[in-house]
Chains A and B, each alone.
Chain A
Amino acid sequence: MIRVQHEDFDPGAEFEQLRTGLQAGAGAVVSFIGLVRDLNEGDDITAMTLEHYPGMTEKALDAIAAEATARWKLLDAVIIHRVGPLGPNDRIVLVIAASAHRKDAFRACEFMIDTLKTKAPFWKKETTSQGSRWITTHG
């Protein structure tokens, strides 16, 4: 299940929904929550805006969840990513992987967030006391 949304998400509620829908044999659930950092390159960040490419973003997240599900035999996978204006410490992204055993869930969860960060069309613009700037990747 993937979702792109402006509003915040409730990690506990998302976990419960996944847990109650799991088939017998699910023994492990690993989740990752990404937050807005309030410090980048030494400047206090007062606000952040997340832009995305509607239509392509959903396809990219679907493909990431499907690849993880196939590679690690997941019983369920969730990716929820927020867009729009966010503040320091706000939740940005939730990734959940459910599998029979913990190793598959850990690896799949890490794969999904790592792949999302390099492939899914989202862009962060941060506002500091020095003004606004687009976050750029290094290297």
Chain B
Amino acid sequence: MIQLRYFASLRERLGISDETVSLPDNVDTVAGLQRWLQDRGEPWSGALADNRLLVAVNHEVVKRATGVRDGDEIAWYPPVTGG
């Protein structure tokens, strides 16, 4: 299983803050996982198409080509605005 998390405006647009899913067959990168999520249709397809979104795997910001494995926590979120 993998844990998916969404924050701030993205969380509101998706109407969900987190979910646990089985790592889909043939998915081994963040990019592949994102395509799989977008293939579920709206609101995923539109919301995740925003290329300003950042992705973190196990709390480290990564590029879309980064691998994902069973047990990972993957988060999508908009540019940060703290401080």
Binding site for B on A (CB under 8 A): 34, 50-53, 55-56, 59-60, 81, 92-93, 113, 116-125, 134-137
Instruction: Report if A123-B82 is in contact (Cβ < 8 Å); known contacts: A51-B7, A53-B75.
Output: yes
Which residue of B has the minimal Cβ distance to A61?
B82
> Chain B residues in contact with chain A, CB under 8 A?
5, 7-9, 56, 59, 61, 75, 77-83
Cα of A116 to Cα of B82 in the assembled complex, Å: 7
Task: Provide the bound-state CA to CA distance between A31 and B73, in Å.
Answer: 35
Q: Which of B7, B8, B75, B80 contacts A119 (CB 8 A)?
A: B80
Taking CB atoms, residues of chain B closer than 8 Å to A113 are 83
Contact of A56 among B59, B82, B83 (CB under 8 A): B59
Q: How far is the CB of A134 from chain B (nearest CB, A)?
A: 4
A123 with B7: CB separation less than 8 A = yes
State the total of A-B contacts with C-beta under 8 angstroms.
67
Q: Do the beta carbons of B83 and A34 come within 8 Å of each other?
A: yes
**Residues of A contacting B81 in the complex (Cβ-Cβ under 8 angstroms):** 117, 122-124, 134-137
Interface core residue of B59, B77, B79, B80 (most chain A CB under 10 Å)? B80
Chain B residues whose C-beta falls within 8 Å of the C-beta of A122 in the assembled complex = 80-83
Closest 10 CB pairs of A and B: A122-B82, A123-B8, A117-B83, A56-B59, A134-B9, A137-B79, A135-B81, A124-B81, A116-B83, A59-B59
Between A55, A60, A123, the greatest number of chain B beta carbons within 10 A of the residue's beta carbon is seen for A123
The residues of A that contact B80 with a CB separation of less than 8 Å are 117-123, 137
Choose among A92, A113, A122 the residue with the greatest number of B CB atoms under 10 Å from its CB.
A122
